[in-house]
Amino acid sequence: MALSLAILGCSSATPTAYRHPSAYVLKSNKRKDYFLIDCGEGTQILMRTMGIRMQRISRIFISHLHGDHYFGVIGFITTQNLFGRTEELHIYAHKPLEKIIKLQLQIDNINLSFPLTFHTLDARKKKGYVLYEDRSIKISTFPLVHSIHTNGFLFEEKILARDSKTFAYCSDTAYTESIIPYIKNVDMLYHEATFMENMAQIAKEKYHTTTKEAAKIAKLANVKQLLIGHYSARYNDITPLLDEAKTIFPNTQAAIEGIILKI
């Protein structure tokens, strides 16, 4: 039962000519439904480009409410409504997103053709907890350290140990070793690496992580693969970011839009 990760967007706060804001689709070859992790603007366009069936998205996980991580949600929802979707859609996010989406639907006088259920990420909880669990997967969340309440996500397949896969997603966060217990030994860790090491002070001020810091976390957590992303728009070429991370953690890949990675 393998997991795969489709990379739809890997830019940071602003899109560039070649990169869109954060959006990832996690798929299992034993499930018909998909999980959407963050949903920046342009997400549904990238889904069409990559041939990802939007109707298959059953659950959306939004790490935090900075626009580059959720501005695509209302567009995704309204497109699904136009398609006549009937399957329930679940959104896991911090509480204000429910108010934002419902206001947008109200202003547009939209009555959805499908049930839309919001699940609140509890900003008061300082430790990780389970969000969703069924026969094949367990999905947990844990706190990150950013300028607003931000959560990471852990996806764990529930099958024979030798075949099961795990994936952890750490979006915007300052360097923090507090996340290590939640991500330890995962098969793939996505960790933001907005800046190179020579901008470490700016990264600290903006509650972001450098390439070497992301690689250090991967090494301390003993993960099998590290995937970096959320690159600052100042970098046209991300090769130096990848090379820098590899000096600490050799098994590092760079998120590149339009590719699908096996976990």
Catalytic residue set: 68
Full DSSP string of the chain = --EEEEEEE-B-SS--SS-PSSEEEEEETT-S-EEEEEE-TTHHHHHHHHT--GGGEEEEE----SGGGTTTHHHHHHHHHHTT--S-EEEEE-THHHHHHHHHHHHTT---SS-EEEEE--TT--S-EEEEE-SSEEEEEEE--SSS--EEEEEEE-S-TTT--EEEEE-S----GGGHHHHTT-SEEEEE--B-GGGHHHHHHTT--BHHHHHHHHHHTT-SEEEEE-B-TT-S--HHHHHHHHTT-SSEEE--TT-EEE-
Q: Phi and psi at residue 195, in whole multiples of 5°?
A: -130, 160
Q: How many CB atoms lie within 10 A of CB 99?
A: 10
Q: Cβ–Cβ contacts within 10 Å for residue 60, how many?
A: 26
- Distance, in Å, from the CA atom of 172 to the CA atom of 160, rounded to the nearest integer, reads 32
